[in-house]
Chains A and B, each alone.
Chain A
Amino acid sequence: MKILVCTETRSGQLDSVSLEMLSAARSVARSDDEIVALVVGDAIEPAAGRIGSADRAVAAIDGTLDLPTAEAYARIALEVVEAEAPDLVLVAYSSVGLDVAPDLALRCGLPLVSYVVSLTRAESRLSVVSQLYGGKVLASVDVDGRAVLMINPGAFPEAPAGAIDAQAIIIHDPSASLRGLKIELLEEVLPDLADVDLAVAERIVCVGRGIGDENGIELVRPLAALLKADIAGSRPVVDNGWLPKIRQVGKSGRKVKPKLYLALGVSGAPEHLEGMSRSDLIIAVNIDPKAPIFGVAHYGATCDLFDLIGALTERLQTEQAQC
Chain B
Amino acid sequence: MNILAVLRMTPDPAGEFEVREDGSGLDREWVDFQLSDFDEQALEEAILLKEASGGRVTAIAIGEGANRALQMAVARGADEAVLIEGEPGELLSSRWLAEAVVALARERGTDVILSGVQTGEDLFGQFAPYAGAMLDWPHVSGTSRIAWVSGALHVAQERGGGVTANYRVGLPVVLGVQTATKVPRYVSGSKLREASKTSIARVSVSDFVPSPSVRTLHLKPLVQAGGGESLGDTAEQVADRIATILAERGLTGVRLV
Contact at A187–B222, with CB atoms within 8 Å?
no
Task: Bits for B217-256, please: 1 = Cβ < 8 Å to A, else 0.
Answer: 1111110111111111111111111110111010111101
Interface of A is mostly: mixed
Contact A111 B133 (CB under 8 A): no
- Which of B138, B229, B253 lies in contact with A182, CB distance below 8 A? B138
Task: Say if the beta carbon of A30 comes within 8 Å of chain B.
Answer: no
Q: Is A158 an interface residue (CB 8 A)?
A: no
**Cβ contacts B54-72/A at 8 Å (1 or 0 each):** 0000000000000000000
A194 on the B face (CB < 8 A): no
Contact A203 B251 (CB under 8 A): yes
The one of A96, A102, A260, A303 in contact with B234, judged by C-beta atoms closer than 8 angstroms, is A303
Our pick among A101, A111, A140, A303 for the contact of B233 (Cβ within 8 Å) is: A303
Also in contact, A67 and B219, with CB within 8 A (given A183-B140, A300-B228): no
Q: Which of B216, B229, B237, B240 contacts A141 (CB 8 A)?
A: B216
Bound-state Cα–Cα, A284 to B59, Å = 39
Let me know if A139 and B217 touch, CB within 8 A. yes
Q: Which of B17, B142, B166, B168 contacts A133 (CB 8 A)?
A: B17
Residues of A near B156 (CB, < 8 A) are: 189
Residues B251 and A98 in contact, CB atoms below 8 Å apart = no
Closest to B155 in A: A183
Chain B nearest Cβ from A276, distance in angstroms: 13
Would you give the 0/1 interface string for B1-27, flagging 1 where the beta carbon is closer than 8 Å to chain A?
000000000010110110100010010
Question: With A98-B117, A99-B139, A136-B222 in contact, is A320–B242 under 8 Å at CB?
Answer: no
Chain B interface bracket (under 10, 10 to 19, 20 to 34, 35 or more): 35 or more
Q: Of B91, B124, B130, B165, which one neighbours A188 at CB under 8 angstroms?
A: B165
Counted as pairs of residues, one from A and one from B, with CB atoms less than 8 Å apart, the total is 302
For B159, the chain A residues whose CB sits under 8 A away are: 10, 67, 95-96, 188
Taking CB atoms and an 8 Å cut-off, the chain B residues in 206-224 that contact chain A are 211, 213-222, 224
Q: How far is the CB of A98 from chain B (nearest CB, A)?
A: 5
**Is there a chain B Cβ closer than 8 Å to A29's Cβ?**
no
The interface residues of chain B lying within 8 Å CB-to-CB of A226 are: 252-254
The segment from A36-44, A51-59, A238-246 found at the interface with B is: A238-246
B144 to chain A: which residues have CB within 8 Å?
Answer: 245, 252
The complex places the Cα of A303 from the Cα of B240 at a distance, in Å, of: 13
A281 within 8 A of B: yes
A262 CA to B246 CA, complexed, in Å: 11
A157 to chain B, nearest CB (A): 15
Q: Which residues of chain B are within 8 angstroms of A106 by Cβ–Cβ distance?
A: 95, 129-130, 133-134
B254 touches A189 (CB 8 A): no
Name the A residues within 8 Å of B19 (CB-CB).
137
On chain B, the residues within 8 Å of A107 by CB distance are: 133
B110 interfacial contact with A, CB 8 Å: no
Distance in angstroms from B151 CB to nearest chain A CB is 13
How far is it, in angstroms, between the C-alpha of A310 and the C-alpha of B176 when the chains are bound? Answer: 40
Contact across chains for B95 and A102 when beta carbons are under 8 A apart: yes
A contact residues around B26 at 8 Å (CB):
137
Q: Is the CB of B239 within 8 A of A311?
A: yes
Nearest-neighbour CB distance to chain B for A218, whole angstroms, equals: 18
A267 to B14, CA, bound (A): 8
Residue A69 CB within 8 A of the other chain:
yes
Interface string of A297-323 (1 = CB under 8 A from B): 111110110011011101110011001
A316 CB contacts on chain B under 8 angstroms: 243, 252-254
* Given A137-B19, A137-B26: A99 and B252 interface contact (C-beta under 8 Å): no
Within the assembled complex, what's the spacing in Å between the Cα atoms of A132 and B123? 7
CA distance A140 to B24 in the complex (A): 10
Cβ contacts under 8 Å, B194 to chain A: none
Partner of A320, one of B154, B160, B167, B254: B254
Residues of A at under 8 Å CB distance from B? 10, 67, 69-71, 94-96, 98-103, 105-107, 111-115, 130-147, 150, 182-191, 203, 209-210, 225-229, 236, 238-241, 245-246, 248, 251-255, 259-260, 262, 267, 269, 281-285, 288, 290, 292, 294-295, 297-301, 303-304, 307-308, 310-312, 314-316, 319-320, 323
**Additional pairs, 8, CB under 8 Å, beyond known A115-B123, A229-B253, A252-B158:** A10-B159, A98-B176, A133-B121, A189-B164, A260-B249, A295-B227, A310-B235, A312-B238
